[in-house]
Every structure is written in C-alpha cells, then in structure tokens.
Amino acid sequence: QKGVKVAFRLSLFKIPMLWEAEHIDYQANKEFKDRQIKGPFSKWEHTHTFIPDGTGASIMEDHVEFKLPFGFLSQPFYRFAKKDFERMFSYRHRVLKYDLEHHVDATKKKRILISGASGTIGTILVPFLRTCGHDVIRLVRKEGKLLNDELFWDPYNGVLDLDKAGPIDAVINLNGVDISRGRWTKKQKKRIIDSRIMTTQVLVKKMSELEHKPSVFISSSAIGFYGEGEDRILSETTDRGKCFISRVCRQWEEASMDAETHGIRTIQLRIGVVLTPAGGALKRMELPFKLGCGVKLSHGRQYMSWISMDDVLSGVLYLLNNSDIKGPVNLVAPNPVTNSEFSKTLARVFSKKVIFTLPKFVALGLWGQMGKETLLTSARVAPEKLLDNGFLFQHETLFPALKDMLGRQD
C-alpha cells in the first residue's frame, strides 16, 4: 500500500546496517514502487512491474535507479554494483518462477502449525507455504502481545494450548539447537537432546488430546541417524549408527512415533546438509571459498549428503500432500559427493581452487566429538522413498545447485 514503510537489517561487506524503505506507488495487478529513506545508497528507487503475457502468464520487470554515496569517488564501483544487482534479480526471478510452478500444483488450503519457525529452514518455509495459499501458525516462546499468526508455548514446562490455534491440518516440527556450534560439552549435549526430545514429546501429547487431530505430523530428524557409513549407500531401511548423534536421532524419532498411535500420519524427516547462504554450512563456507581460502577436511573421502533449500521446501510440500508416504524419509539430493568433491565444486563456483587441507588432528583438536561426528563422518545417503514415490528434484547435482543458491548464474 502507498505510504507503508518497512525497516529491515542487511549486511554490506559484513557490516550490519538498517535499511528503511517506503512504498510510494501502488497500482493493483500492475506495479508498485519503493524508495530508500535510510540505507547505504544516496538514492534508491525500485519499480516492480507486472506485464500480462497471455493466459495465466506475465512478465515481471524490475527497474532500479540508484546512486552510490561519496559522489565521484564512487564511480569505479558502479560496474561492480550493477553486476551484483543483475545477479540478485536473476536469482529472485528464478526463485519466483520455481515457487509459482509449485503453487499451480498446490492442493486444497491447509492450516499448518510450525515449531522452530525462526530457524534456517523455518524462516524460509513459512513464507513459501503462505504463498502456496496455506495458513501458517508459528509456535513462539515469547510471552506478552502476540501477532495473529503466533501461538505461545513453553515446551520445557509442557505449556501449549492447541485449542487456541483452531482446527489444524498439519504440524511441522523443526525444533533443535544447532549441533555444529562449538564443542559438545555435557551441558551442550543436554541442550541438543532436550531441544529435540522434549519439544517433540510435548507436541505429540498435545496433538493426541485434540478432538480433531491433524492428518499429518512431519518431525525433523537428521542423516546423523546413520552414523559412520563409510562408502555404503544408506537408505531409510538402514540401521542406525552407534555414535552420540545417532542415538539422539533415534530418541527424536521414537518421540514422534507416538503420534501414529493416535491415527496421525507421521514422517521422520532425515535432513541432510541444507545448502542456503542464509545459514548453516554454506553460509560459513561462502566467504573463505570466495576469497580463495577454501579447505578440504582431512583426506576428503568422507561423503556429504547435501540438499538445496529449494528441494527442502518442495520436499516438505510434497510430503504434506502425499498421503501414501509415512515413516522415515531421507531429505537429501540423489547424488551425494565426497568432501573433496564438495570443496572443489564450491571453489569452482567462485573460479578459485582448493589449496588447503585441514588435518584430522586439527579438526579434532578444535571441535572434538562434534568435529568427528559432523565433519569427518561419512554419510552416503540415498532418498529412496522420495524417488520411489515420484518426487522430482530441482537440483540433482551439486554444481548447478551451488550456482543457484549463491546467485552465481551466468
């Protein structure tokens, strides 16, 4: 709407800053325009235009007028800024096209409850599902005044009133603290366990008490379930591993299984290494590799089972709508790679080379058990259940996935 102002934070050259924008024009189904009030540019005016192109189709056009700060001193930087803008808008248009293709196939509207909505996956999944036409309710732990789409809960004290949410068709559980942050002390291990098991138990208990229960419960797990797999192909029927994170995943999945006894279709989502510059492994790796300082971990022969964020989103949507699928599901791309291959491919995206190797003893010295189980363990995981049920991946191989996720398309 005209006159509406929006403020958001961004990072420019790793420097956090506030950007304030105002919508200065709006023409329904035709265009809208915004301009910078406060931010990194001397001038920024962006017009979004939508041009009809036959039945059920349109052309989206972005027109940007901008000026860099510091007057004539910034002239040498204009070509770099223009290149970055072209890359950004190319990425946005690709993502929009991809999302719209899924919206065309969307089934009837659902009311979906999501825990862990503020995490790396949740912050992207929520708007994706909403633009598909679904209502999304986010579980939050802040007390006080809540937004219309928020519902308070305190899982560590068993507090959750699902009746306040109204009828719920599906529940997606994405809870769990990041396991890759720092060494696994006794205190951290307890946080890893409690943030997964206790939250899942509360969700299942509260769902079981509803008169009208959701039809599907999708609960996170991880490919850490399999532990050290060496070069064996690991499917949903493979036994769990013996390491700490394998035991955690097993307890996590067992906590979700109780929902099945109440007639709720339940899926344990064994998620691989999610590729997105918004968080996780790729966010931490992007800058070093871009600067030509990418590394291979140890001998580099350990397998990494990755998946693009695009395929995480469409995979979750597919599982919501496919009533034939239940039980454990490997959410990974069909072509895992070794750590050495991953490092070389990421370096190639930035036209760099991998020239460093991080020895095993250094990784163990820095991160201990966490480094051993998340960085040095091999997991060659296959998405058998998704493939057998006809799911089509947007990104089957690594190089195009990385180029898309990082906006590096030619």
The secondary structure of residue 239, as a DSSP letter, is P
Residues 323 and 265 in one domain: yes
User: Does 410 reside within a domain?
Assistant: no
Tell which residue, 336, 364, 355, 371, has the closest CA to residue 289. Answer: 355
* 95 and 142 inside one domain: no
Give dist(CA 49, CA 31) in Å, integer. 4
Using DSSP's 3-state secondary structure scheme, residue 4 falls into: coil
Identify whether residues 190 and 72 lie together within a single domain: no
> CATH code at 37?
3.30.530.20
Considering the domain architecture, whether residues 96 and 117 belong to the same structural domain is answered as no
Residues 142 and 184 both lie in one domain: yes
Q: Are residues 76 and 145 in the same domain?
A: no
Count of helix runs (H) and strand runs (E) in the chain: 10, 21
What is the model's pLDDT at position 98? 76
Q: Which residues contact 125 (CB under 8 A, 6 or more apart)?
A: 114, 117, 172, 174, 312, 313, 316
| Final residue belonging to a domain, choices 56, 75, 104 | 104
CATH code, 317: 3.40.50.720
Instruction: Verify that 232 and 342 share a domain, yes or no.
Output: yes
Cβ atoms of 62 and 44 within 8 Å: the answer is no
Q: How far is CA 369 from CA 250, 303, 307, 373, 403, in A?
A: 18, 18, 24, 6, 32
Q: Is 387 a domain residue?
A: yes
How many domains does the chain fold into?
Answer: 2
Last residue of one domain, picked from the residues 104, 137, 159? 104
Is the CB of residue 193 less than 8 Å from the CB of residue 248? Answer: yes
Work out the burial of residue 256: count CB atoms within 10 Å of its CB; fewer than 13 is exposed, 13-18 middle, 19 or more buried: buried
- Quote the tokens at residue 385: 């259940």
Residue 22 domain boundaries: 5-104
DSSP, res 336:
-
User: Does 174 lie in the same domain as 42?
Assistant: no
The answer to whether position 244 is within a domain reads yes
338: in domain: yes
Domain termination site, one of 44, 72, 104: 104
Does the residue 269 lie in any domain? yes
pLDDT at 408: 81
In this prediction, residue 407 carries a pLDDT of: 82
Do residue 38 and residue 141 come from a single domain? no
d(CA 130, CA 119): 17
Rounded to 5 degrees, what are φ and ψ at 282? -65, -40
Q: What is the pLDDT along the chain (410 residues), one digit of tens a residue?
A: 778 888 877 766 566 778 899 988 888 889 999 999 998 888 989 999 999 888 778 888 989 898 888 888 888 888 888 887 887 888 888 888 877 777 766 568 899 999 999 999 999 999 999 988 899 999 999 888 888 899 999 999 999 999 999 999 999 999 999 998 889 999 999 999 999 999 999 999 999 999 999 999 999 999 999 999 999 999 999 999 999 999 999 999 999 999 999 999 999 999 999 999 888 999 999 989 999 999 999 999 999 999 999 999 999 999 999 999 999 999 999 999 999 999 999 999 999 999 899 999 999 999 999 999 999 999 999 999 999 999 999 999 999 999 998 888 66
CA separation for the pair 304, 150 (Å, rounded) = 36
